[in-house]
């Protein structure tokens, strides 16, 4: 039985119809001239509006925050207009949608950020990491990232303000709230994890200092839109894009306690989900549950039964199903009625048009 997935739940001031989350998934369909959301993106999200919560794909908060070609921004008027089409389409189908706010830090290439040098917590290049570029001349493709420069105090304050403005922009564009992307090796994660932050000032050198940037960003955004409209994505055990922490359980339990003090609406935990990935222990999940009193969302290769068990255990409040939502726009109905899940075409995950985006049918 999957009854637990279909109990309503409070998220801040919102009431969600079910506990099924469509998590952020980069689909690379934004307009390549101005990084704005497109009409087919509006159709795509509206098709999936039966999820209790949709979290939109990562949206860069500034031109410098962009990591990959064809990803959407949330800092220009044109971009806000594009996102307003998306949120209007989702709301017309009674869906609830948060924007994921994204700064990639060092996980980019000058080609994607106006030929600037990337910025990060420290001047450490992410090894064996490639990003997607489209320079309009040589054809799109993957290139190695470059060494970033260490952020100055002025840089840090500027990015904090950009996150604050992006949160305001998201609400203006009709989103019901925002998710701060603090996972998967991007900028905030580069400050949090011990091996990517070699600073010796108040933003490094100790766990509390490594969490300071996260703290300041949350403080700024909460002052602008309210903590009840904010979620945060963390990935304690993933080593994506070269970020590694020496003591992840200690670090991320401390991060959860910090976020609990801010009274944010939710924490969204991305479990490592590749073959032979490290497994989050029950003890680690219990520590996070004890540290954080808001809604806990978990993501990572969940089946209907595993999701139900996680919620019934009390360790999770909601479950995010990533790639199953690609080929199953009606995933909640399929879960509820025990129908088979369609498989997605990996060739059409990133870039392109409607094919592999909006042409997957509902169950018949």
Threshold 0.85, pTM exceeds: yes
Nearest-angstrom CA–CA distance, 235 and 181:
10
Domain tally, the chain: 1
List the CATH number of the domain containing 40. 3.20.20.70
**Among candidate residues 331, 327, 362, 359, the one with its CA nearest the CA of residue 346:** 327
* DSSP E strand stretches across the chain: 9-11, 14-16, 20-22, 53-60, 97-102, 119-120, 130-133, 141-144, 149-150, 177-181, 230-234, 266-270, 295-299, 318-320
Residue 355 lies in a domain: no
Identify the pLDDT of residue 282: 95
Using the predicted structure, report yes or no on whether residue 4 has a pLDDT greater than 90.
yes
Using the predicted structure, report yes or no on whether residue 110 has a pLDDT greater than 80.
yes
Q: Which one of the listed residues 45, 75, 186, 266 is annotated catalytic?
A: 186
Identify the pLDDT of residue 277: 66
Interval 25-63: pLDDT, tens: 999 999 989 999 999 999 999 999 999 999 999 999 999
Residue 139 domain boundaries: 3-348
Active-site residue flag, 186: yes
Residue 353 lies in a domain: no
Residue 360 lies in a domain: no
Residue 149 lies in a domain: yes
Interval 191-227: pLDDT, tens: 999 999 999 999 999 999 999 999 999 999 999 999 9
Residue 361 lies in a domain: no
Residue 359 lies in a domain: no
Nearest-angstrom CA–CA distance, 131 and 144:
6
């Amino acid at each position: 039985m999957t009854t637990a997935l279909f109990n309503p739940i409070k998220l801040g001031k919102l009431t969600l119809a079910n506990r099924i989350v469509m998590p952020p998934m980069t689909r690379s369909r934004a307009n390549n001239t101005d990084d704005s959301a497109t009409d087919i993106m509006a159709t795509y999200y509206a098709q999936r509006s039966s999820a209790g919560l949709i979290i939109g794909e990562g949206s860069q908060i500034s031109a410098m925050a962009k990591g990959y070609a064809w990803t959407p921004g949330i800092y220009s008027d044109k971009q806000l207009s594009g996102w307003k089409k998306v949120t209007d389409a989702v709301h017309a189908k009674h869906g609830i949608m948060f924007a994921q706010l994204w700064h990639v830090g060092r996980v980019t290439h000058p080609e994607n950020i106006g030929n600037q040098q990337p910025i990060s917590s420290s001047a450490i290049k992410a090894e064996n990491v490639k990003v997607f570029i489209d320079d309009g001349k040589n054809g799109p493709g993957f290139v190695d990232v470059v060494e970033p420069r260490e952020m100055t105090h002025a840089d840090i304050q500027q990015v904090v303000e950009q996150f604050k403005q992006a949160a305001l922009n998201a609400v203006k564009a009709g989103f019901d709230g925002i998710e701060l992307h603090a996972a998967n090796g991007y900028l905030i994660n580069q400050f949090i994890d011990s091996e990517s932050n070699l600073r010796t000032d108040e933003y490094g050198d100790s766990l509390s200092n490594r969490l300071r940037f996260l703290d300041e960003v949350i403080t700024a955004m909460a002052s602008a839109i309210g903590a009840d409209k904010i979620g945060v994505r963390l990935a304690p055990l993933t080593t994506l894009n070269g970020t590694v922490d020496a003591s992840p359980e200690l670090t991320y339990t401390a991060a959860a306690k910090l976020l609990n003090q801010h009274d944010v609406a939710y924490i969204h935990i991305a479990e490592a989900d590749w073959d032979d990935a490290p497994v989050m222990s029950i003890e680690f999940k219990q520590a996070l549950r004890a540290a954080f009193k808001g809604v806990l969302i978990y993501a990572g290769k969940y089946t209907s039964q595993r999701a139900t068990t996680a919620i019934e255990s009390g360790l999770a409040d909601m479950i995010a199903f990533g790639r199953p939502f690609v080929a199953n726009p009606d995933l909640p109905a399929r879960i509820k009625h025990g129908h088979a899940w369609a498989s997605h075409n990996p060739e059409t995950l990133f870039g392109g048009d409607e094919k592999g985006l909006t042409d997957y049918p509902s169950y018949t």
